[in-house]
Amino acid sequence: MGFTSKIQKPIIRWLEDNRGLVVLFFCLPASFVFDLILRFKVWVQRSLSNVPETHQQRVAEIQKQVARWNKEDSRQRKLLCTSRPNWLSLSLTFFPKDNCHKVPINLYNILELDEKNLTVKVEPMVTVGEITKYLIPKGYTLAVTLEIADATLGGLAMGVGMTTYSHKVGLYQEAIRSYEVILGDGSLVTATRDNDLSDLYYALPWSHGSLGFLTALDLDIVPVKPYVHMRYIPVKGQKKYCDTIRELSGANDKDRELDDFIEATIYSKDEAVVMVGNFADAPPIVHWGKINNLARWFKPWFYCHVKTFLEKGESEEYIPLRQYLLRHNRSIFWVVEDMIPFGNEPWFRYLFGWLLPPKPAFLKFTTTPGIRAMTFTKQVFQDIVLPINKLEEQINISEKLFDTYPVLVYPCRVYDHGDHMGQLRKPRPDQMVPGANYGMFNDLGVYGVPGPVKRKEKYDAVKKMRAMEKFTRDVGGYPFLYADIFMTRQEFEEMFDLNLYEKVRRKYHAEGAFPHLFDKVRPEIDVFEVGKQYIDPL
Ligand SMILES: Cc1cc2nc3c(=O)[nH]c(=O)nc-3n(C[C@H](O)[C@H](O)[C@H](O)COP(=O)(O)OP(=O)(O)OC[C@H]3O[C@@H](n4cnc5c(N)ncnc54)[C@H](O)[C@@H]3O)c2cc1C
Ligand SMILES: *[C@@H]1O[C@H](CO)[C@@H](O)[C@H](O)[C@H]1NC(C)=O
Ligand SMILES: *[C@@H]1O[C@H](CO)[C@@H](O)[C@H](O)[C@H]1NC(C)=O
Ligand SMILES: *[C@@H]1O[C@H](CO)[C@@H](O)[C@H](O)[C@H]1NC(C)=O
């Protein structure tokens, strides 16, 4: 392997040890310029197709392309996928799109706001940043949104999304009223919970574009107020903070009066800060000191700010809504710390804070196969949906396998839809909230460089990841599929229920037209082979 040769090893080692400087003097400026160019391109692209009235016309254009593909020789044609380049998507894998027949989906418009029914109709390429900018001044936000401005509403619908509001409403898919989809035969259909295509409706989430091309979505919105009143509750002791999170999220009591937002950041096995937020009007003048404009470039990173309450004790603040929603944006949760260890120092924030975050698209664009192979073995990046009654075990096993903090917890309902669970399985009886039709789960977010890698010890990433996946299967959880998976196909099918999915694939002409879900989401590299080469420290 060239990477570990005698000359390269010390160079890589030096670059690793001084990565903060490399990132500051190369990565950030390049990322900034890259982003400017990208924005200009997107602006041009969107201006050209930015006409909500022509939605039907543009969809018909895509249908035509699928129809043309259908006329090709079925033994020679490639499977269908969207032409969106891999590096633009937030998924961590690099699905080899060149092996597919690529169809451009130029659908960037917000189509219609329905204030009576509280829904908004959008095209799939609208981003979280754009929809919040559009909705918040009108007094709304999506019922389930995301912290990352670059995520697309269609990408979230075909994968999964969850947020700090999900303890009230569940996963992103619960907030979708209808999907408009082009099927493998070129026909255009709309699937809702209770029309003839409800089977398709329930199979589309977690399908990752393997059932059809999404062309529009109806999403639930909720009325908002201009601020979020945040209460920071530091808690010492594992059982105590886990109990606090369960209590506040309503896991013990379906009739509990719920706060609008809940999140916990765990800083060590025994310390966490639980945050509850509620929509609020602007505070009276005497409390203006409590307003925190935390998105400003010179402000401390959010998780660092939150950590200070472990010392300072319980506290409260008012955060402007959009700034609350994008609170993790500048430090990409705590991922940027591993790139720029001094990034939260005041001198850096005041001078260069405005350059953050490095754009995910830039990072992906510049990822060579060599870097990709090395990074997946030296980092962990996982969001996993797990039952909240196992929260202590989740944290213990995460520490045992990855030894990295902070760890993120967002509580989330998983509804029991009976025979309509789609790819998820019914929550188990002990996971259900007593008397309710949902179980309480949580997203466990583990992002960062594992302890052993930091300490330059041996670290077998594949073994650790597979152990985490086994735990996840055993307790009835699911990793988000935008991140790398290390399961065999058999293990994948033990975790996800593909019965409805396979039926829907046959019934709606996806078989032979779109890649299978497993092929779509599994890493494009042979993780088992690559994993073996990078167990030893550099
Ligand atoms: C730093 C980071 C933080 C994150 N934080 C969170 C978080 O807090 N909460 C959370 O829920 N998630 C989080 N995610 C994950 C995020 O939800 C996923 O990356 C999600 O897939 C959205 O990304 P995207 O819009 O780039 O979608 P893509 O990755 O582009 O798309 C997702 C899938 O849908 C398919 N697809 C997209 N558009 C269409 C279409 N029109 N027709 C058919 N198929 C389509 C794609 O082929 C792909 O398989 C995070 C990801 C990152 C990188
Ligand atoms: C609300 O939605 C229903 C069904 O989805 C629809 O029939 C009705 O016209 C909508 N109401 C308004 C005001 O648009
Ligand atoms: C959030 O970060 C992204 C890059 O990841 C950037 O494009 C976007 O402008 C940021 N949004 C805000 C509101 O800071
Ligand atoms: C988690 O770890 C702590 C301390 O190491 C231990 O006391 C506790 O019993 C563990 N909890 C579970 C559920 O395994």
Of the listed ligands, the closest to the CA of 400 is 4
Q: Do 218 and 179 fall within a single domain?
A: yes
Residue 145, in any domain of the structure? yes
Compute, in angstroms, the gap from residue 65 CA to the centroid of ligand 4: 56
329 CB within 6 A, ligand 3: yes
pLDDT of amino acid 301: 96
Report if residue 354 sits inside a domain: no
Q: If you measure from the C-alpha of residue 407 to the centroid of ligand 4, how many angstroms do you get, rounded to a whole number?
A: 16
Give dist(CA 220, CA 141) in Å, integer: 9
Domain count, the chain: 3
CATH of the domain at 177: 3.30.465.10
Residue 8 lies in a domain: no
Q: Is the CB of 396 under 6 A from ligand 4?
A: yes
Does the CB atom of residue 117 touch ligand 2 within 6 A? yes
Q: Are residues 101 and 198 in the same domain?
A: yes
Taking the centre of ligand 1 as the mean of its atom positions, its distance from the CA of residue 481, in whole angstroms, is 9
In terms of domains, do 308 and 408 share one?
no
- Claim to verify: residue 233 and residue 206 sit in the same structural domain: no
Q: How far apart are CA 402 and CA 469, in angstroms?
A: 13
Residue 339 inside a domain? The answer is no
Give the domain-ending residue among 312, 329, 346. Answer: 329
Instruction: Output the residue whose Cα is nearest ligand 3's atom 13.
Output: 326
Q: What is the CATH number of the domain that holds 396?
A: 3.30.70
- Indicate whether 294 and 197 sit together in one domain: no
Regarding whether 214 and 250 lie in a shared domain, the answer is: no
Using DSSP bridges, classify how beta strands 213-223 and 315-320 pair: parallel, antiparallel or unpaired.
unpaired
What are 433's two structure tokens? 């909230």
Ligand 1 centroid – CA 381 distance (Å)? 14
Q: Show which of 195, 223, 251 is a domain's final residue.
A: 223
308/55 Cα distance (integer angstroms): 49
Both 169 and 254 in one domain: the answer is no
Which of 176, 204, 223 is the endpoint of a domain?
223
Q: Are residues 414 and 472 in the same domain?
A: yes
The CA angle 440-304-232, to the nearest 5 degrees, is 50
Q: Which domain holds residue 248?
A: 227-329
User: Are both 105 and 217 inside the same structural domain?
Assistant: yes
Give domain status of residue 517, yes or no: no
342 located within any domain: no
Nearest C-alpha to atom 2 of ligand 2 is from which residue?
A: 117
Alpha helices for 53-137 (secondary structure H): 55-71, 128-135
432 is a domain residue: yes
Candidates 505, 504, 487; CA nearest to 496 is 487
Residues with C-beta less than 6 Å from any ligand 1 atom? 82, 89-91, 105, 124, 146-148, 151-152, 154-156, 158-159, 161-162, 208-209, 213-214, 332, 360, 383, 480, 482, 520
User: Phi/psi class of residue 512: alpha, beta or left (left: φ > 0; alpha: ψ in -120 to 50)?
Assistant: left
Residue 37 domain-assigned (yes or no): no
Which SS3 state, helix, strand or coil, does residue 267 take? strand
CA of 252 to the centre of ligand 4 (A): 21
55, 66, 91, 101, best to mutate for ligand 1 pocket (most atoms within 8 Å of CB): 91
Give CA–CA dist 489/362, Å, rounded.
31
Q: Is 149 in the pocket of ligand 3 (CB under 6 A)?
A: yes
Report the pLDDT value the prediction gives residue 204, as an integer from 0 to 100: 98
Residues contacting residue 81 through CB under 8 Å, at least 6 positions apart: 95, 97, 100, 101, 102, 103, 209, 514, 515
Taking only the tens of pLDDT, the chain with its 538 residues reads 444 566 677 777 777 677 777 777 777 888 888 888 888 888 887 777 667 778 999 999 999 999 999 999 888 899 999 998 887 888 888 888 888 999 999 899 999 999 999 999 999 999 999 999 999 999 999 999 888 888 999 999 999 999 999 999 999 999 999 999 999 999 999 999 999 999 999 999 999 999 999 999 999 999 999 999 999 999 999 999 999 999 999 999 999 999 999 999 999 999 999 999 999 999 999 999 999 999 999 999 999 999 999 999 999 999 999 999 989 988 989 988 888 888 899 999 999 888 888 887 777 777 777 777 777 788 899 999 999 999 999 999 999 999 999 999 999 999 999 989 999 999 999 999 999 999 999 999 999 999 999 998 999 999 999 999 999 999 999 999 999 999 999 999 999 999 999 999 999 999 999 999 999 999 888 888 877 777 777 6
CB 401 within 8 A of CB 486: no
Residue 187 is which amino acid? Answer: S
Residues 415 and 309 in one domain: no
Q: Is 314 in the pocket of ligand 2 (CB under 6 A)?
A: no
- 143 and 66 co-located in one domain: yes
Q: Which atom of ligand 2 is nearest to the CA of 117?
A: 1
Q: Are residues 67 and 214 in the same domain?
A: yes
Contacts 24+ apart (CB under 8 A), 129-134: 129/326, 132/322, 132/325, 132/326, 133/322, 134/110
